[in-house]
Structure 1
């Protein structure tokens, strides 16, 4: 199933933070004095891409990323203040990073430029809470949202009510022009849902689009799930494979997503080739979940779906290289995985009910581990049917 890994990597490479940021910055005229903010799980790679273009024009910077997602290349640049914080559950470092962000953007002179880079994970990684709230409140709120299976847009809308910086409120601290580049990790690529819309208009928070500050903020989405899915399809075609479904939808509640993919994969007229989906399913967790994340859960659930088919394999992975609170990206199964589990005495239904797909997949040698990828455009599922109809 190495081919599936290669196709997944092609999708990830097309939306890599370093490449996408550098490519985008080269399209804009840049002044001689520039400040940088990079936030999210792809902050390190986006900052590296910015450095390759900005060079000596960079005056100062602030970066906040997930623990263990910071490279020495960026860390050693003395102009950039680096923080590592908690994800998916915020920690004390998330509050420290949020406070520094609140302070930092306010120090930039009006006649200089701020390049503001945002990627998935930002909502948990930076926070400056409203007066009267503390970390315990934030953790409890986040745990409840995660356990409920709330979609990312719903979670971020709720987070704005707790925050002094989200829902466009950070813009009230900005005096300079801003070039904002976003890597989308949300369905529909809505800027206000990416990182909870730190510098995006939001009527609900009193930061509506009529305010003068928005005339200084220029926003662009530079990477998305659609771009990644197209790259997977292009890579398959380059390898002589037939792409039967170039794009599909993984958004929605997990049972609905499983049913949606099953309708395709169990079709008696299913033709050999490659089938691609992108998005982010939501999973309601039990009180004490086991090991895993939504991608591992979906992969394990699909192992039963394809168990009665011929020559079908499927990879389901997070494009950021992490699935839930684990170090794995997801899982990869085929039409023989379910029977292997049965012969090994593994009850897949029980593992799924306990949200413990990771432990089951590990015993089946079906986990996919990539490490941090430097981007985050939600998840990819790639199915290979009948060898992909390779010509």
Structure 2
């Protein structure tokens, strides 16, 4: 497409939404079929296969596996966040009593007798909370407290998932000891930008047995050193280590990962006529660092529209009493002053691939070079909302929320900025 020299804010929002919708171009069913073929699991011949789907995208993954395996499908267990036929619902993002019940269902399912020769795990993000089986003396309330401590400090999800796995009869490969079929295979939809597939679902099907020193390091990272909870975590981790046998034969394959969405978004932006500044698919950084990267990219003179994009999950330090909002909402508010200083029209958008930016019904948000002025004219305190980590109402008042809902995906968040040409000769008309 020809590059637009007269980009307006209306164009920018439409383009940003189209770039975000590049997620819909990914084919989950094809990915499942390809990985099964790669693993030597044909859909037309062979014995029955038990399916275990766990995570936000579990229903979609199970449906894709059913289509690929057809008559070979044996027993099926689906654990997810959204209710549906045959779905065991767990709690998310903080584990609760439903998560305990889901964890017990998973262990019972695996330990029951089966005529199948293979157990196929279909794993996606969110499983760490949706199904839990903590090692005593750690309780489900303790797991919720670990989540709260990690989010308060802005600790990345890998550190949190390592702690979760250290005290779990599911995570860190512990669940594989309950498998009764002759073989097991996991297909993993990756939502972890630092560390990748092994840390999805707290290393559900990957072996992980941290020693005392590593557990102590993790507890320090979340600010719990010396607490009663830390003592329970250390005891549970030691109990788990002593109880686990040697790792058995098991295979893991990656289905799709954040880089696949990034590549699709990059191509969509290029097709729309943008010069693309690609920040990659490992944005496990503070939102402030991401804003700085965007600011640097926008300072470069360009006679063409520019799109700065990346995929990942920012790590804001929320403190003990954050308000309402989500990663995408907070980032869009934080980048607004940078957009206000842009040489021409500029717009930021953040969207969660699973369709939920923490708040139900909200998929993300946007902001543009007028956000700061519009907030001021309405008496809205942008700086105060950011300080309180309470940006939801600000975006709602400015009409900057993006509608959300279950998407069937979980490939992190897309962060992007689209801007008109920044060189004077290219700015043919004023922004409208």
Structure 1 and Structure 2 fold alike (TM over 0.5): yes
Report deviation, 1:142: 2.1
CA distance in 1, matches of 2:159, 2:72: 38
Report deviation, 1:243: 2.6
Report deviation, 1:162: 2.1
1:186 pairs with 2:192 = yes
Selected match of 1:56 from 58, 67, 71 = 71
The 5-angstrom pairing of residues 259-338 of structure 1 reads 259-267=292-300, 272-309=305-342, 310-338=344-372
The 5-angstrom pairing of residues 135-174 of structure 1 reads 135-174=140-179
What SS does structure 2 have at the residue aligned with 1:306?
Answer: helix
Q: Which residue of 1 aligns with 2:21?
A: 9
Selected match of 2:258 from 198, 222, 225 = 225
Asked if the contact 1:108–1:114 (Cα under 8 Å) also holds between the matched residues in 2, the reply is no
**1:8–1:252 distance in 2 versus 1, CA, 3 Å:** same
Q: Which residue of 1 aligns with 2:96?
A: 91
Asked if the contact 2:306–2:418 (Cα under 8 Å) also holds between the matched residues in 1, the reply is yes
Report deviation, 1:384: 1.3
Q: Which residue of 2 aligns with 1:78?
A: none
**1:154–1:372 distance in 2 versus 1, CA, 3 Å:** same
What SS does structure 2 have at the residue aligned with 1:235?
Answer: helix
Selected match of 1:380 from 389, 401, 414 = 414
Q: Return 174-183 or 258-267, whichever deviates more.
A: 258-267
Equivalent residues, number: 375
What SS does structure 1 have at the residue aligned with 2:51?
Answer: strand
CA distance in 1, matches of 2:391, 2:405: 19
Instruction: Give TM-score, length-normalised by structure 1.
Output: 0.88
**1:259–1:169 distance in 2 versus 1, CA, 3 Å:** same
Asked if the contact 2:153–2:319 (Cα under 8 Å) also holds between the matched residues in 1, the reply is no
Asked if the contact 1:37–1:63 (Cα under 8 Å) also holds between the matched residues in 2, the reply is yes
Report deviation, 1:324: 2.0
Asked if the contact 2:303–2:421 (Cα under 8 Å) also holds between the matched residues in 1, the reply is no
Selected match of 1:245 from 278, 281, 292 = 278
Asked if the contact 1:17–1:42 (Cα under 8 Å) also holds between the matched residues in 2, the reply is no
- Aligned CA RMSD, in angstroms, stands at 2.5
**1:291–1:22 distance in 2 versus 1, CA, 3 Å:** farther
CA distance in 2, matches of 1:57, 1:290: 48
Report deviation, 1:239: 3.4
Q: Return 255-264 or 290-299, whichever deviates more.
A: 255-264
Selected match of 1:198 from 195, 199, 204 = 204
Unaligned runs of 5+ residues in structure 2 are 1-12, 211-239, 427-432
Asked if the contact 2:49–2:75 (Cα under 8 Å) also holds between the matched residues in 1, the reply is yes
Q: Which residue of 2 aligns with 1:122?
A: 127
Q: Return 238-247 or 126-135, whichever deviates more.
A: 238-247
Higher Rg of the two aligned structures: 2
**1:104–1:19 distance in 2 versus 1, CA, 3 Å:** same
CA distance in 1, matches of 2:340, 2:287: 19
CA distance in 2, matches of 1:159, 1:218: 22
